[in-house]
Amino acid sequence: MERLQGIAVSPGIAIGEALVLDNEGFRIPRRFLPRDAVEEELIRLDKAFHAAEAEVDRNRKSVAEQLGDDYAAIFSAHLQMLRDRRLHDEIEEMIRVRHYSPEYAVSRALRRYAKVFQSLQGKYMAERANDIFDIEKRILRNLLGRSREELANITSPVLVLAHNITPSETASLNPRFVLGLVTEVGGPGSHTAIVAEGLGIPAVVGVGPFLTDVSGGDTIIIDGDQGQIVLRPDEETVARYRHEVEEQRSLAAKLESLRDLPAITTDGQHVQLMGNIEFPHEVELCKQRGANGIGLYRTEFLYLGRDDDPSEETHYEAYSAVVHDMGNLPIVMRTLDLGADKMRSLPDPEDERNPFLGLRSIRLALRNRDLFRTQLRAILRASTWGEVRIMFPLISTIMELRQARMVLADAMEDLEEAKIPFDRSIKVGMMVEVPSAIMMMDRFVDEVDFFSIGTNDLIQYCLAVDRSNKDVASLYTAADPAVIRMIEIAVRVANQHGVPISMCGQMCGNPLYTMLLLGLGLRSFSVTPAAIPEIKRACRSVSTEQCVRVAEHVLKLESARDVKNYLKEELAKVFPELPL
């Protein structure tokens, strides 16, 4: 048994069979062969070895011609390994006797060799382990015939382990079969983390290199509460975690009774609890949990994994489906919030060294106005079916907001000329997620109908922490006093001017911060559907007077650790059954 520590980004516990995607994305499942398929699979294996040998030999000859035999020696060593009789016999024995698939047998055998080299002292031996991984990939490429098997094609329950998962892949995850996620890289607030939390899938990121220590089919445990994964757990550990799973299910069943009750404090203050969604099918989850509407509809999924831009009709069909499903409840549609590096249809930015500070979000939309106008037209058309609101992301200056509103006005004019109906009084708001927006809140109040605080980016920009970088992930926390003071300013200014303000970041989906946020004056939260019952329970357990006292005390604290410890103590008093 081996326990690894990562970063908890989506709560819950998952126990099951590992599906491993290595650095190149190869899926290495533990698949068993029927007896009558063994000989045919051995022939396929033999062809893969010969193809790999031919590739290596071509590389060896090419390097020898250009740089000399000394530089080609590495490929000669690879050839020697590929032709090693003991390796062939070991893999063949796994296929004949244990009926392993060739892919699994190759991976199992070569990773065992690599682990031996990794355990030896010295840089030379570590490099030999890398040679073995290179050979493994060559053989797998020839066995699989493609570099990555689509995660959307998974048809049995698994826990996905990967170096990283792209946004387009996370968009295709099916929570019926993907029960948990672990990645070697990443941090809180990453796209993978957001999608996992939205789908209610336990997830841990930023674990560091570990894929060579696990094979497809191994039993693992993902602890999304503590940010740990357990490889090949013993029976006692499995039993303990299964008990925790049952306790979580029991709590979820108790909270289910709150579904149709309002989120109202003990002294009668109503709190609006809305849902965050990434995909249209998540509307059903929001309705099941009793959401008061959709406070954040991330529209990026329409752009991911495509070679072209989605058409206006594609946008309209997705948006109108969500509006119809939600009935008369409000829906806040956030316009495109991606970087140019995530969109295949756009040319790669020439100097995008830091995408978080580059051409992304509203900046990208304003640079590509036809693309922007297409989306806005579709949102406006969908507004005839319900209470739709438009929200612009990553607004940092007054001019950006005014330019975005000008493009919106152009889209309205287009529809009016075409005699296409839309809601002419549609409400327009902005995300508050950069310090400059908070510093200018007293000016923005005259420009918008509502605000929504996006804490995922606000924390990143306030603390100068790349939220996808595991090396500084420990600095990324909503409990930092500077972040809390910025939120206090935003809420106070908005309330003073009578402009509605909500929060849609991950912070408000964590019951640890519910009393603090209520005490700061926030009365509208938009959270992942899975988080709604816990937040509602927290709201219904406290008075506003209690919350104000909590907020006043927190604003006097000087460290994130002190803030977290204090909030845990206060939450335990009113919500003792919640595991912290």
Q: How far apart are CA 372 and CA 392, in angstroms?
A: 11
Phi, psi of 361 (to 5 degrees): 60, -130
Question: What residues contact 117, with CB distance under 8 A and at least 6 apart?
Answer: 125, 126, 128, 129, 132
DSSP reduced 3-state for 564: helix
First to last CA, the chain: 25
Question: What residues contact 291, with CB distance under 8 A and at least 6 apart?
Answer: 273, 274, 275, 329, 529, 532
Extract the tokens encoding 72: 């080609």
Phi, psi of 178 (to 5 degrees): -90, 100
Q: Can you give the pLDDT at residue 71? A: 60
Q: Predicted confidence band at 78 (pLDDT cuts at 50, 70, 90)?
A: confident
- Provide the mean pLDDT of the chain: 87
Q: Can you give the pLDDT at residue 167? A: 57
pTM to 2 decimals?
A: 0.75
CB 315 within 8 A of CB 558: no
Is residue 373 annotated as involved in ligand binding? no
CB 501 within 8 A of CB 490: yes
Q: Can you give the pLDDT at residue 28? A: 61
DSSP reduced 3-state for 89: helix
Would the CA dihedral through 542, 546, 551, 553 be positive or negative? negative
Q: Among 310-324, 326-340, 405-419, 535-549, which is the least confidently predicted range?
A: 326-340
Q: How far apart are CA 305 and CA 537, in angstroms?
A: 38
Extract the tokens encoding 122: 């010295």
Q: Can you give the pLDDT at residue 343? A: 55
Is residue 184 annotated as involved in ligand binding? no
Of 374, 354, 20, residue with least CA distance to 183: 20
Q: Can you give the pLDDT at residue 532? A: 94
Question: What residues contact 548, with CB distance under 8 A and at least 6 apart?
Answer: 519
Assess whether pLDDT exceeds 80 at residue 113.
yes
Q: How far apart are CA 439 and CA 532, in angstroms?
A: 31
CB 274 within 8 A of CB 542: no
Q: How far apart are CA 264 and CA 104, in angstroms?
A: 54
**CATH no., domain 267-574:** 3.20.20.60
The residue that leads in pLDDT, 199 or 352, is 199
Report angle CA 573, 452, 285 to the nearest 5 degrees: 70
Instruction: Give the start-to-end residue ranges of the domains of the chain.
Output: 2-25+150-248, 37-144, 267-574
Extract the tokens encoding 299: 């529209």
Q: What is the DSSP string of 279-331?
A: SGGGHHHHHHTT-SSEEEEE-GGGTTT-SSPPPHHHHHHHHHHHHHHHTTS-E
Q: Can you give the pLDDT at residue 217? A: 80
Mean pLDDT of all residues in 23-31: 58
Q: Can you give the pLDDT at residue 540? A: 96
Of all helices (H) and strands (E), which one includes residue 411? helix 398-417
Q: Can you give the pLDDT at residue 360? A: 87
Q: Among 204-218, 276-290, 356-370, 433-447, which is the least confidently predicted range?
A: 204-218
Phi-psi category of residue 180: left, alpha or beta, with phi > 0 → left and psi -120 to 50 → alpha: beta
Mean pLDDT of all residues in 66-93: 82
Cα dist from 460 to 187, 473, 507, whole Å: 11, 10, 13
10 Å CB burial of residue 302 (0-12, 13-18, 19+) is buried
Q: Predicted confidence band at 62 (pLDDT cuts at 50, 70, 90)?
A: confident
From 286, 315, 462, 504, active-site residue: 504
Mean pLDDT of all residues in 491-509: 96
Q: Is 191 labeled as catalytic in the residue annotation?
A: yes
Assess whether pLDDT exceeds 50 at residue 147.
no
Residues 309-358 pLDDT 10s: 889 999 999 999 999 999 899 999 999 998 654 555 565 655 666 777 88
Q: Predicted confidence band at 155 (pLDDT cuts at 50, 70, 90)?
A: confident
Q: Can you give the pLDDT at residue 30? A: 64
CB 152 within 8 A of CB 174: yes
The β-bridge relationship of strands 158-162 and 331-334 is: unpaired
Q: Can you give the pLDDT at residue 216? A: 77
Is residue 334 annotated as involved in ligand binding? yes
Is residue 433 annotated as involved in ligand binding? yes
Is residue 298 annotated as involved in ligand binding? yes
Superfamily designation of domain 2-25+150-248: Phosphohistidine domain (3.50.30.10)
The residue that leads in pLDDT, 197 or 378, is 378
Residues 228-243 pLDDT 10s: 999 999 999 999 999 9
Assess whether pLDDT exceeds 60 at residue 123.
no
| 37-144 maps to CATH 1.10.274.10 | yes
CB 366 within 8 A of CB 405: no
Q: Predicted confidence band at 96 (pLDDT cuts at 50, 70, 90)?
A: very high
From 78, 191, 286, 547, active-site residue: 191
CB 127 within 8 A of CB 145: no
Q: Can you give the pLDDT at residue 346? A: 61
